[in-house]
Amino acid sequence: QVQLVESGGGLVQPGGSLRLSCAASTKIFTMYVMGWYRQAPGKQRELVATVASGFTTDYTDSVKGRFTISRDNAQNTVYLQMNSLKPEDTAVYYCNARHKLVPSLVYWGQGTQVTVSS
């Protein structure tokens, strides 16, 4: 069992920045592909970005050039730096851990609210 604890959400004005953090309770952090998902009211949860243990990253098109995902394997932590935030980025953001060899091992954080509004 892996516990994921997110932090860093909040209210920010359009054009502002926020940094989300997610700490994972596992001794084999490097066996997991880490990701951030988000879910806006009335919409399905969508993938925002992923980072593999070798630091390969992938982003959904709507955040490319504005968001940066990174991980610190020594601290078992994954980050999401969000710049140039837009109102449409408003959502609950969830941290996700997916074991790279056992696809059924998937864990979720509790979610953190990000609201972009003036």
Mean pLDDT of 32-45: 96
Segment 77-105 shows an average pLDDT of: 96
Q: What share of the chain is helix, strand, coil (3-state, %, to 5)?
A: 10, 50, 40
User: Percent of the chain at pLDDT above 90?
Assistant: 92
Res. 116: pLDDT tops 90: yes
State the pLDDT confidence band at 114, using cuts at 50, 70 and 90: very high
Q: Is the pLDDT of residue 27 over 90?
A: no
Instruction: Give the phi and the psi of residue 96 in degrees, each rounded to 5.
Output: -135, 140
Q: What is the pLDDT of residue 26?
A: 87
**Per the structure block, which two tokens stand in for 80?**
């999401």
DSSP string, 23-62: EE--S-GGGEEEEEEEE-TTS--EEEEEE-TT--EEE-GG
Local confidence band at 42 (pLDDT 50, 70, 90 cut-offs): very high
Other CB atoms within 10 Å distance of the CB of residue 41 = 7
pLDDT band at 54 (very low <50, low <70, confident <90, very high): confident
Percent share of the chain, pLDDT over 70: 100
Assess whether pLDDT exceeds 90 at residue 110.
yes
